[in-house]
Amino acid sequence: MSITKMHYKDKKNVLGYILTFVVLLAVLVICMPFYYIVVNTFKTMQDATFHPISLPGRITLDNYINALKIMNFFRSFSNNIIITFFTVLFSVFICSAAAYPIARRKTKLNSFLKFYFVSGLMVPLQAIIIPLYLVMKSMHFVNSFHGIILLYIGTGCAFNVFLYQGFVKTIPYDIEESALIDGCSPIRIYWSIVLPLMQPITATVIVYQAMITWNDFLSALLFLQSSKLQTMVLAVNSNIGSFATDWSNLICMMVLTILPVFIFFIFMQKYIIKGLTSGAVKG
Amino acid sequence: MVNLKIKQIKQELSYEILVIPAVVLFTIFSVLPLLGGLFLSFTDWDGLSFNFKFVGIENYINAFTVSDVFLISFEHTLFIAAVTTILFTILAIPLAVILDSKIPFTKFFRAAFFFPSVPSALVVGYMWSFMLSSSSYGFVNTILGNFGISPINWTGDPTLAFLSIIVVQLWGWTGWHAVIYIANLQSIPTEYYEAAKIDGANIIQSFKYVTLPLLTPAMSMSILFSITGAMKIYDIVYALTGGGPGTSTYVVVQAILKEGINLGKYGMANAASIVLFLVILVITLIQQKVMSRREEGMT
């Protein structure tokens, strides 16, 4: 509870009303750009160009029909889905598996591995992008889904392993111990006991890895040059670059790109904010 | 005895199988590029042949003396980092205090302020380039036009271009930082405020002597993310100003990509990358040191 709560009680409703009003104004300012790009997508080109702020006089869907075609929406959308789905899926299994022995078995090797992954937290993708480009080229990973998926998993590893190993420590050891005495193999224990118990942190990993992968521009720009492999962000970028198309189509593409993220946010908001406030997010 | 030891090692190894995929991928895509980049930054490798020799710190000297592209891009990036970090702190704390108070619709308000950080930074940048456009469809200029102000070319002037980048960053990330502060505010016990009130503290005093000191964990986290995030800035600038007008808003990542990948100056680009890595590393280490010292002080 904070200071305004008390004083709000003290001075009855006046302060509360003023604050609500101020925040409401600020929210309007925050929403303005979204209003602007959404409202103009339903206008004719002329209407949008000369009356950008007003509501549409005559609603048209032509812009969306054009935009879907120009950005090859269904292809770029499914490319995004494929890349994000497999990156998240493999990240969850690979990183939770690695975190389990690192957090559980107190050996020299494991404390080294912990240090190895944690130091990766301080290596930003942007600072290794040139050698990464060389690695991708020499392995013939440029212009392939498996290449970029492996890249996303590899560059996300440090953070995901860090999250998982922190969580493993909070899981009580008793169940594993009795399974071990019963002759269960470590892989079996990981798979049928530890992995299901990791569910809360898996939610955080899924949400963040999905957002990072879905929105990525830098790696996608360098490693998905073929137009067949374009993601939605790349499709927006390449069409804006050419600027020949009229702007109503371009803002439609933006709305189409933001919409899936918006829907995701509505449903996953709880996990996004929880992941952030548990102090566990790398920028 | 020996058998027991072997059995033990075998058991540990059966655990370590689980680590292999992550270690392989992490090594190929993070460790190898970092070490490779570090190694190549001391050579005259041209990106083609395997004939290269060590040149010491020549690349580092050249990167900052031959042309001014890296120097100015570091200046611009540090400037953006400093200004946005100060403004995030000034704006996000009051916002967090208000959003943590008992005004109605706080859930909706929090979501609305947070959402701009969710979509791709590139699309946000392009969206704002339409908002700020000096064509007749530009939103900001249309509003200003209603007050009789003639259209301003927001991204055509170096100062205004910086202003635009900073405003867009604030629009995008103030709510995100506020969420960190809100979580911290919720951990402050009510008794502290009651005690301050009994001691006769007014609203400003209890904010200054109770709220602010107890917000330091969130503050150090918010500042760290703000600085390191700004050092890595690329998408927004690429979409909004393209580094222009000219090179007046060029940022580090942009310079690295252009010099390294487009112009093939691998040595200098690798040197600049290592400098970027070191800057981020030093900031992170300082933050961790300060944090751990503060934790020691508290216990």
Q: Render pLDDT for B127-183 as a digit per residue (tens, 0 to 9).
A: 999 999 888 888 999 889 889 888 889 988 999 999 999 999 999 999 999 999 999
Please compute, for residue B178, the number of CA atoms within 13 A of its CA located in the half-sphere on the CB side: 28
Residue A202 and residue A117 in one domain: yes
Interface check B227 vs A, CB under 8 A: no
Across the interface, of A3, A122, A131, the residue whose CB is closest to B280 is A122
pTM of the entire structure? 0.90
Residues 86-145 of A with CB under 8 A from B: 94-95, 97-98, 100-102, 104-105, 107, 109, 113, 116-117, 120, 122-135
The token duo for A103 is 């957090």
* Residues contacting residue B117 through CB under 8 Å, at least 6 positions apart: B172, B173, B175, B176
pLDDT on residue A8: 45
Residues 189-208 of A with CB under 8 A from B: 190
Residue A241 clears pLDDT 80, i.e. is over it: no
Domains with residue ranges and CATH for chain B: 65-298 (1.10.3720.10)
Across the interface, of A7, A27, A113, the residue whose CB is closest to B19 is A113
pLDDT on residue B298: 54
**Closest approach of chain A CAs to the CA of B159, in angstroms?**
22
Query: What are the beta bridge partners of residue B43?
Result: B54
**Closest approach of chain B CAs to the CA of A4, in angstroms?**
5
The token duo for B219 is 């503050």
**Closest approach of chain A CAs to the CA of B77, in angstroms?**
13
Interface check B134 vs A, CB under 8 A: no
Residue A72 and residue A50 in one domain: no
Residue A249 clears pLDDT 50, i.e. is over it: yes
Residue A29 and residue A142 in one domain: no
Please compute, for residue A258, the number of CA atoms within 13 A of its CA located in the half-sphere on the CB side: 23
Q: Report pLDDT digits (tens) over A115-166.
A: 999 889 889 999 999 999 999 999 999 999 999 999 999 999 999 999 999 9
A242 located within any domain? yes
Residue B299: band (very low, low, confident or very high) from pLDDT cuts 50, 70, 90: very low
Residues 214-233 of A with CB under 8 A from B: 214-218, 222, 233
Cβ A135–B28 below 8 Å, yes or no? yes
Which candidate in B52, B101, B185, B214 is best for mutational testing of the A interface (most A CBs within 10 A)?
B101
Residue A56 and residue A132 in one domain: no
Report chain A's C-alpha Rg in angstroms. 24
Residue A48 and residue A173 in one domain: no
Comparing alpha-carbon positions, the chain A residue that sits nearest to B93 is: A2
Report the complex ipTM: 0.89
Query: What are the beta bridge partners of residue B54?
Result: B43
Strand, helix or coil for residue B43: strand
pLDDT on residue B188: 87
Contacts of B240 in chain A (CB under 8 A): none
pLDDT on residue B288: 80
* Angle B68-B272-A281 from CA coordinates, rounded to 5°: 125
Residues 236-275 of B with CB under 8 A from A: 238-239, 252-253, 256-257, 260-261, 266, 269-270, 273-274
**Closest approach of chain A CAs to the CA of B243, in angstroms?**
15
Q: Report pLDDT digits (tens) over B202-250.
A: 888 888 888 888 898 889 889 999 999 999 999 999 999 988 888 899 9
- Spatial distance between the Cα atoms of B194 and B166, rounded to a whole number of angstroms: 39
Q: Report pLDDT digits (tens) over A59-111.
A: 888 889 988 998 899 999 999 999 999 999 999 999 999 999 999 988 899 99
Interface check B99 vs A, CB under 8 A: yes
**Domain end position, chosen among A13, A45, A60:** A60
Q: Are A146 and A218 in contact (CB under 8 A)?
A: no
Residue A101 and residue A39 in one domain: no
Query: What are the beta bridge partners of residue B9?
Result: none
* Residues contacting residue A140 through CB under 8 Å, at least 6 positions apart: A147
Give me chain B's average pLDDT, please: 90
Interface check B151 vs A, CB under 8 A: no
Interface check A251 vs B, CB under 8 A: yes
Q: Report pLDDT digits (tens) over A20-74.
A: 888 999 999 999 999 999 998 898 877 887 888 888 878 888 889 988 998 899 9
pLDDT on residue A115: 92
Number of domains in chain A: 2
Residue A200 and residue A137 in one domain: yes
Residue A46 and residue A110 in one domain: no
| Amino acid identity, position A154 | G
A282 located within any domain? no
Across the interface, of B118, B175, B273, the residue whose CB is closest to A261 is B118
pLDDT on residue B12: 85
pLDDT on residue A110: 92
A168 located within any domain? yes
Q: What are phi and psi of B43, to 5 degrees?
A: -120, 170
Cβ B120–A4 below 8 Å, yes or no? no
Interface check A57 vs B, CB under 8 A: no
A160 located within any domain? yes
Residue A117 and residue A42 in one domain: no
A283 located within any domain? no
Q: Report pLDDT digits (tens) over B65-115.
A: 888 899 999 999 999 999 999 999 999 999 999 998 888 888 899 999 999
**Closest approach of chain B CAs to the CA of A32, in angstroms?**
9
Across the interface, of B116, B210, B256, the residue whose CB is closest to A130 is B256
CA distances from A34 to A138, A212, B118, B123, B126 (A): 42, 21, 13, 11, 12
CA distances from B224 to A49, A88, B74, B183, B290 (A): 42, 26, 18, 17, 11
Residue A130 and residue A256 in one domain: yes
Nearest-CA neighbor of A257 among A89, A17, A25, A34? A34
Q: What are phi and psi of B166, to 5 degrees?
A: -65, -40
pLDDT on residue A156: 94
In the 8-state DSSP scheme, what is residue B248? Answer: T
The token duo for B38 is 């570090």
Residue A244 clears pLDDT 80, i.e. is over it: no
pLDDT on residue B295: 62
Reply yes or no: is the peptide bond before residue B158 cis, omega within 30 of 0: no
Kindly state the average pLDDT of the residues B246-255: 93
Q: Are A67 and A61 in contact (CB under 8 A)?
A: no
**Domain end position, chosen among A60, A75, A106:** A60
pLDDT on residue A283: 37
B89 CA to centre of own chain? 14
pLDDT on residue A243: 57
Which candidate in A3, A105, A107, A194 is best for mutational testing of the B interface (most B CBs within 10 A)?
A3
The CATH number of whichever domain residue A187 belongs to comes to 1.10.3720.10
Structural domain of residue A28, as residue ranges? 3-60
Residue A228 and residue A106 in one domain: yes
Residue A169 and residue A47 in one domain: no
**Domain end position, chosen among A29, A45, A60:** A60
A200 located within any domain? yes
Strand, helix or coil for residue A83: helix
A104 located within any domain? yes
For A180: left if phi > 0, alpha if psi spans -120 to 50, otherwise beta; the answer is alpha
Contacts of A7 in chain B (CB under 8 A): 203
Strand, helix or coil for residue B51: coil
Contacts of B224 in chain A (CB under 8 A): 283
Q: Report pLDDT digits (tens) over A210-229.
A: 999 999 999 999 999 998 99
Burial of A124 (0-12, 13-18, 19+ CB in 10 A): buried
